[in-house]
Chains A and B, each alone.
Chain A
Amino acid sequence: MKNNGHKPASPATQLPKCPTGIQGLDEITGGGLPRGRPTLVCGGAGCGKTLLAAEFLVRGAAQFGEPGVLMAFEETEKELKANVASLGFDLEGLVRRKKIVIDYVHIERSDAQESGEYDLEGLFVRLGHAIDSIGAKRVVLDTLEVLFASLPNEAILRSELRRLFRWLKDKGVTAVITAERGRESLTRHGLEEYVSDCVIVLDHRVNDQIATRHLRVVKYRGALHGTNEFPFLIGGEGISVLPITSLALNHKVSAGRIATGIHRLDAMLGGKGFFRGSSILITGTSGTGKTIIAANFAQAAARRGERVLFFSFEESPNQIIRNMHSIGLRLEPLVKRDLLRFHSARPSLYGLEMHLATMFREIATFKPHVVIIDPITSLMDSGTESEGKAMVTRLIDYLKAGQVTSLFTSLSQGAHQMQQNETGMSSLMDAWVLLQDFEGNGERNRVLYVLKARGMAHSNQIREFLISDHGIDLVDAYIGVSGVLTGSARVAQGDLEKAAVLASQQEAAQLKREVERKRKALDRQIGDLRSDYEGEALELRRIAEQVGTRTFVLGTERAASGLLRQADTKAAAITRVNHRNGKVS
C-alpha cells in the first residue's frame, strides 16, 4: 500500500481508498479514507468522533470484510459496546465472531513512576498483536491524546507517536485517530503534524438554540474532496453526512402527468396536471388555502392508489383531517388504508439537519409517490437562510432522484411582494402556483395563478378560488373594463348581465305576442268577410230560386192556358217542368 505513490498514477486510479460505509462521507471524500494511511478525526467534546471511528470499524467488518482493531483509551470495552449498540451496531457480535478486537488501554498517571529512558514499544506490541490476531485491515485509536496526560515525558511521547504513525503505514492498515480539538490548532496536542494524509474536523455548533453537527475534510492528500462544511447527524443507523447537493443534475425525468384533484387547476395546466416527479411550490399569505390545495392533491393521489407522505409542521394530523373534512375531503379512510401517512413535528423540535434526516428516513421506509411539505417556510425558519435553501435543495434532489412528486407550501408574509426565500426557492421548483387575497368591496377573495409550470402550456389567467362545503372550485374571475372582479362584485356583474339578457328576452316575447295578436285579428277579419260573403251567396241563391219558381209557375200557368188553347204544346211543357224541378232540388 505504502508504495502506491510511486506508481504512475493514472487519473482513474489515483489513490486507493478505503470505503467507510458512512452515508455521505464516501461521497465527499470520493470513495473513502486513504487506504493504508492514518486519518485524523478531530473535534470538540460530543462531536461524534468516537462514533465515527466506531462506525468506520463496524461497517468495515460487517460490509467490506475488513476486520478491525479498536484501541480505546477513554472508554472500556463494555462501555463502548453499550454506546454503539444504541446506534444499532452489533459490536458485541462482531467481537464474538473475531471480526473486531477491542483493546482498552487504561493508564493513570499516578500509577506510574518514570525513571530513565523508555519507549512505547508496549503499545506497538499490543496493537501489533491485536492486528495480527484477526488480520485487521482497519485500526482506530480513540483518543490517543490521553497519553499526553499520563506520560509526563512529552519529548519521548512525540517521537514515539511519529514512529507509531510510520509503523501503522508500514503495517498497511487504514487507521483513524481521534483527537480533541485545540483552541488554536486543530488538535490540542498538535497531532495533526504527524498525520498528514487526511484530516477530518467535526464540529458541533448551536445556532438559535438549535445544535447542528458539521463535518469538514480539511485535508486529503492526493485526492479531490469536498472542502465545504457538511452537516451530519447521528441517527438510528449511525452517522449520515448530508452533502449539500448531489454531484450532478442528472435525474431521470418522467413525461407522465399527475392530476391535482382540482379539475379546473388541471385544465389550467394543459389539461392534465403537473408532471410526475416534479417539484411544486404553492405560495400564499395565511388563509389563502395552501393546505387545502395540498390536501386535495394528497387525496387525489391516494385515491388513485398512490402512497402519499404528508409532512406537517404546523398542524397535527388529526387537526388536518378534521379541517379537511369540513370542506368535504375525507382523508381518514385513506390514512386507514395506509395510502396517506402524516408526519407532524414542530420545526423547533430539532435542527434542520435532523428534520431532513427524519424526512429522508420516513421517505425511505414509506416509499411514497407524492410528498407534501406543509409549510416549507416554517421549517426553513429554524435554520439560517442559506441552510434552509441548502436543505430544500437536498430534499428536492433526493425526491427527484426517486421520481417522487413533491408539493411544498410556502407562507409569504407580504401580500404582494415576493419574499426573498420564495424567489430563492422558486428557481428550484418546476411549478409555482400563487394564491392571493383580493381585498375590495369590504370582502376578501381568494384568487389563484399559475406563475410558472416548466415544460407545459399553462393558463396565464387568474382564477377565483372558492372554498365551500364540497371542496374547492375554481371559477373565472370577471375581467372587464374596471379590472378584475371577484366575490360579490363578480356575482353582481354576473347578475347585471343576466338582467340585461332577461330584459331583451322579455322584449322579444312581447313582440311575439303582439304579432300573434295581429295575426289573430286578421284571421278574425277574414272570418267576418267570409261569413258576409257566404250570407250574400245564400241570398243570391234564394233569389235565384225564387226567380226559378216564379218562372215555373209562370210557365205552368202559361201551359195551362196554352192547353186550353192548343193540345200539342202539352207534352213539351211537361218535359220542361220536370227538367227544372230536378235541378232546383
Chain B
Amino acid sequence: MKTKTAKQRAAAPPRRIAKLWQLRLYVMDTTAKSQTAFANLKKFCESHLKGRYHITVIDLLKQPQLAKGDQILAIPTVVRKLPKPVRTIIGNLSDTARVLVGLDLRAAD
C-alpha cells in the first residue's frame, strides 16, 4: 500500500442516518499489518456504512508529529472521529466482531 490518503465518499446522498462517519487510520507504510488493516476497514465500511464514511489514512513515517494528537501508540490504529464519542481500535481489524463493537457499527444500521 502506498501512502494513500484514500477518500471514499458516497456517490449519492441517500442519508438514512444523517451522520457522516469520519475515520482515521494510522499506519506505518511498510508493515503488512497496516495493509491488512486498510483492506479490512474498507471492507467493513463498504458493507456497513456504504456511502457515508470518510477514511483518512495517516502515515506516521511521513507525518510523525500527528501521532501525538490522537495519542497513538499502536500501529495500526483506527480512530472514529465522528460520530462522537471518539472510539479507537488497535490492530489489523482481523477480528470482525471486535471491530463491530469497537466502531459501534451495529448502531449505524
Q: Which residues of A are in contact with B by a Cβ distance under 8 Å?
A: 103, 105-107, 111-123, 125-126, 128-129, 147, 151
In the complex, what distance in Å separates the CA atom of A147 from the CA atom of B67?
Answer: 16
Are A122 and B75 closer than 8 Å at their CB atoms? yes
Q: Find out whether the CB atom of A116 lies under 8 angstroms from the CB atom of B60.
A: no
CB-based nearest A residue for B64: A129
- Chain A contact residues: over half helix, strand or loop, or mixed? mixed
With contact pairs A107-B73, A122-B75 given, residues A115 and B89 touching in the complex (Cβ less than 8 Å): yes
CB–CB B60/A121 < 8 A: yes
CB of B9 within 8 Å of the partner chain: no
Instruction: Tell me the B53-103 residues at the A interface (CB within 8 Å).
Output: 60-61, 64-65, 67-68, 71-77, 86-96, 98-99, 101-102
CB atoms of B93 and A122 under 8 A apart: no
- Decide: A123 and B73 in contact? CB cutoff 8 A: yes
CB distance A122 to B92 under 8 Å?
no
Partner of A122, one of B37, B77, B87: B77
Contact A122-B102, Cβ < 8 Å, known A113-B89, A115-B91, A115-B93? no
| In contact, A118 and B64 (Cβ under 8 angstroms) | no
Decide if A125 touches B99 in the complex (CB within 8 Å).
Answer: no
Partner of B60, one of A113, A118, A125: A125
Size class of the contact patch on chain B: 35 or more
If A107-B73, A118-B74 touch, whether A112 touches B64 (CB-CB below 8 Å) is no
Contact A151 B94 (CB under 8 A): no
Q: Enumerate chain B interface residues (CB-CB to A < 8 A).
A: 26, 28, 31, 33, 36-37, 40, 60-61, 64-65, 67-68, 71-77, 86-96, 98-99, 101-102
| 8 A-B residue pairings within 8 Å (CB atoms) | A106-B71, A112-B102, A113-B90, A115-B93, A118-B90, A118-B92, A121-B75, A122-B75
Pick the contact of A111 from B87, B91, B93 — CB < 8 Å?
Answer: B87
Q: Is the CB of B102 within 8 A of A115?
A: yes
A372 to chain B, nearest CB (A): 57
What's the Cα separation between A122 and B26 when bound, in Å? 8
How far is the CB of B32 from the nearest CB of chain A, in Å? 9
| Among B28, B67, B76, B88, contact of A112 (Cβ-Cβ < 8 Å) | B88
Interface-centre pick from B26, B33, B64, B87 (highest chain A CB count, 10 A): B64
Q: How many CB-defined contacts (below 8 Å) exist between A and B? A: 104
Which chain B residues border A107 with CB–CB below 8 Å? 71, 73
- Whole-angstrom CA separation of A151 from B95 in the bound complex: 16
- Closest A residue, CB atoms, query B60: A125
Central interface residue in A115, A117, A120, A129, by most chain B CB within 10 Å: A115
Most-contacted residue by chain A among B73, B75, B92, B95 (CB, 10 A): B73
Query: Cβ of A147: which chain B residues have Cβ within 8 Å of it?
Result: 73
**Per a CB cutoff under 8 Å, which of A103, A114, A116 touches B68?**
A103
Please, which residue of chain A has its CB at the minimum distance from the CB of B99?
A115
Write out the residue numbers on chain B whose beta carbons fall within 8 Å of the beta carbon of A151. Answer: 73-74, 90
Q: Is the CB of B98 within 8 A of A115?
A: yes
> Please, which residues of chain B bring their CB within 8 A of the CB of A103?
68
Residue of A116, A121, A128 near B91 (CB, 8 A) is: A116
A103 to B77 Cα, complex, angstroms: 19
Q: Are B67 and A113 in contact (CB under 8 A)?
A: no
Chain A residue nearest to B95 in the complex (CB): A115
Q: Shortest distance in angstroms between A71's beta carbon and chain B's nearest beta carbon?
A: 10
Tell me how far the C-beta of B31 lies from the nearest C-beta in chain A, rounded to whole angstroms.
7
CA distance A115 to B72 in the complex (A): 15
Nearest 7 pairs between A and B by C-beta?
A: A113-B102, A116-B94, A129-B64, A116-B91, A121-B75, A116-B92, A115-B98
Please tell me which one of the listed residues A112, A113, A117, A120 contacts residue B92 in the complex, with CB atoms under 8 A apart: A117
A129 in contact with B67 (CB, 8 Å) = yes
CB-nearest residue of chain B to A106: B71
Q: Which residues of B contact A128 (CB under 8 A)?
A: 64
Task: Indicate if the CB atoms of A122 and B73 lie closer than 8 Å.
Answer: yes
Whole-angstrom distance between the Cβ of A104 and the nearest chain B Cβ: 8
Q: Which residues of A contact B33 (CB under 8 A)?
A: 116-119
The docked-state distance in angstroms from the alpha carbon of A121 to that of B77 is: 10
Report A-chain residues with C-beta under 8 Å of the C-beta of B96. 115
- Is A126 within 8 A of B72, CB to CB? yes
